[in-house]
Amino acid sequence: MKILISGGGIAGLTLAHWLHHWGHIAVVAERAPHGRLGGYGIDFFGTGYDVAAHMGITDRLAAHQLPTDSVCYVDGAGRVTARLERQLLEKVIRGPYLALMHTTLEEALAEAVRDKVEIRYGQHIAAIEQRPSGVGITFAEGRQESFDLLIGADGVHSATRELAFGPEERFARHLGYTMACYPLHDTYGLGPRRVHYSEPGRQTILYPTGMPGELIALFLYRTADHTIPPCAERRAALRHTFTGMGWLTPQLLDAAPEDGLFMDSLTQITMPSWHTGRIALTGDACAAMTLTSAQGASMAMDGGYLLVQALHQHADHQAAFHTYETQLRPAVQQRQQRARTFARSLVPATRTGLATQSAVTRLVLRNAFSGLLRRGYGDATSILTRT
């Protein structure tokens, strides 16, 4: 089959790899003009790691890990109040664990499909027409083309979903936070640590990217307003929200770029069905869980893998879409629920809430409580090893 994938991110590139592997022609339309730059760090383990191992890219990923050996929680003076050592995290996860830049994973996936799959950078879909024998696509530059199937892997704000299923607000579940992040030069001597500092309703996080002297500053805040300002206004909006925040926050804000600051609301996507006719969705487009799950990338890879496996098992695409959704949905729902629960206490809104969180964090990060921590990080079971 000739299959169009909208979106060349983690889900789209994984899908493209496995479609090619099973003899299909995959074409990826990626809106960005080239592979994305910048980005943010991700914890990578469980099912996604297993899919990556099947693809033979884990050595490459392991060679580009973030140089972090612990997660530290600090007070306003930078004194460490609690510390999560990497060894404890690995014990909790009970399997391989990698701390990566999101772009490291995307680059490894792009490399895996290089010269095998056509990736059309700077291209996106303007209109879709479902026909009995295929899907008619009109691209934004006006070109028309026919495909057997269309898979939307274009992220949480998916245009494929909008065109085929309806507006985002119908499926969006906002968790009451906005996040922003950007890279900056390390003038702080941070060392191999990820550092968290919180005040009521606001959190600043800092970690090294693995590029010499480069850090990522990440800001998270509670808000009922999930609209995101235009690029040119984000820096000012962030400075306004974090006015008066302690620790290194003022310096980090001074170093914010005028443009190119990534900002988004924490939004989950929940849909009654992930497919319609010859169109299906995968990754964040249908199952976004937000950063509080720490498993969105992992599940995006799982989705790409399972969708192609189902297409290989069934001659009929409807049966394949049904099988894919039936296999993946329970794992997604479980992680989304856990992410919502975790989000409630992620950044406490009051000083009392923060003090309680700090005491609980110190307790939970003791080795003896690894079982409790495991519940927060998920069971990390792999559909690959279950089937």
Ligand X SMILES: Cc1cc2nc3c(=O)[nH]c(=O)nc-3n(C[C@H](O)[C@H](O)[C@H](O)COP(=O)(O)OP(=O)(O)OC[C@H]3O[C@@H](n4cnc5c(N)ncnc54)[C@H](O)[C@@H]3O)c2cc1C
With both helix axes pointing from N to C terminus, report the angle between 10-21 and 47-55 in degrees, rounded to the nearest 10: 40
**C-alpha span between 12 and 154 (Å, rounded):** 8
Contact (CB, 8 A) for 305 and 384: yes
Task: List strands edge to edge, sheet with 279-281.
Answer: 118-121, 25-30, 2-6, 149-152, 279-281, 275-276
The least CB distance from residue 12 to ligand X, in Å, is 6
Nearer of residues 74 and 99 to ligand X, judged by Cβ? 99
Nearer of residues 289 and 320 to ligand X, judged by Cβ? 289
For residue 226, count CB atoms less than 10 angstroms from its CB and return exposed for 0-12, middle for 13-18, buried for 19 or more: middle
Nearer of residues 314 and 381 to ligand X, judged by Cβ? 381
The least CB distance from residue 355 to ligand X, in Å, is 26
Nearer of residues 107 and 284 to ligand X, judged by Cβ? 284
**C-alpha span between 152 and 166 (Å, rounded):** 13
The least CB distance from residue 230 to ligand X, in Å, is 17
The least CB distance from residue 79 to ligand X, in Å, is 26
The least CB distance from residue 185 to ligand X, in Å, is 20
Nearer of residues 140 and 314 to ligand X, judged by Cβ? 140
**C-alpha span between 182 and 247 (Å, rounded):** 18
CA 271 to chain centre: 18
Structure tokens at 372: 């409790």
Nearer of residues 143 and 351 to ligand X, judged by Cβ? 143
**C-alpha span between 172 and 204 (Å, rounded):** 25
Nearer of residues 158 and 327 to ligand X, judged by Cβ? 158
**C-alpha span between 293 and 47 (Å, rounded):** 14
C-alpha distances (whole Å) from 119 to each of 30, 42, 115, 266 are 7, 24, 9, 29
Q: Phi then psi for 368, rounded to 5 degrees?
A: -65, -20
The least CB distance from residue 160 to ligand X, in Å, is 7
The least CB distance from residue 45 to ligand X, in Å, is 8
Q: Tell me which H or E stretch contains 238.
A: helix 231-241
Nearer of residues 284 and 325 to ligand X, judged by Cβ? 284
Binding site for ligand X (CB under 6 A): 6-12, 29-32, 36, 40, 42-44, 102, 124, 153-155, 159, 179, 181, 283-285, 291, 294-298, 300
Structure tokens at 302: 């799982």
The least CB distance from residue 137 to ligand X, in Å, is 11
Nearer of residues 65 and 314 to ligand X, judged by Cβ? 65
The least CB distance from residue 40 to ligand X, in Å, is 4
Q: Phi then psi for 129, rounded to 5 degrees?
A: -125, 115
SS3 content of the chain, % helix, strand, coil (to 5): 40, 30, 30
